[in-house]
Amino acid sequence: MTVSDAEWSNTEQKVAQAAFERAYKREIDALMKQVRAQASAIAQLDDMWTLHDFLSARRHDIDGKYDYRYSVLIFVFARLVKEGWLQLDELQGLNADKLTKVAALARM
């Protein structure tokens, strides 16, 4: 069995969806906080374009990252764990094989 064609039981789908949404909310909340802070400190034109560049990059990043397709979800979770938006133990309920793969990919 490869990573991408793993089957997801109903229970696993529920665990996955909840974890996905939790990570997403965390990252978005952190980003909004950062943008509010960065914007409040705008004092000159360059600061504004720096904020714009930052938003462009983050938007692209987030649009690509939060891809809820079961064929890529192991990779998505590994990245979220690696980046700190998700803890491995929040994926409890997935089968051992998936957890091992997420953990291994997250260490790469």
Give the whole-angstrom CA distance, residue 83 versus residue 95: 22
Least distance (Å) between residue 25 CB and a second copy: 10
Number of residues that bind a second copy (CB under 8 A): 20
Least distance (Å) between residue 69 CB and a second copy: 20
Which of 3, 28, 99, 103 forms a contact with a second copy (CB under 8 A)? 28
Please report whether residue 14 would count as binding a second copy according to CB under 8 A.
no
Which of 42, 68, 92, 97 forms a contact with a second copy (CB under 8 A)? 42
Which pairs from 20-23 meet CB under 8 Å and 24+ separation? Answer: 20/66, 20/68, 20/73, 20/76, 20/77, 22/86, 22/90, 23/80, 23/85, 23/86
Burial (Cβ within 10 Å: 0-12, 13-18, ≥19) of residue 76: buried
Q: With respect to a second copy, which residue has the nearer C-beta, 41 or 96?
A: 41
Which residues of this chain interact with a second copy, rule CB under 8 A? Answer: 28, 31-32, 35-36, 38-40, 42-45, 47-49, 51-52, 55-56, 59
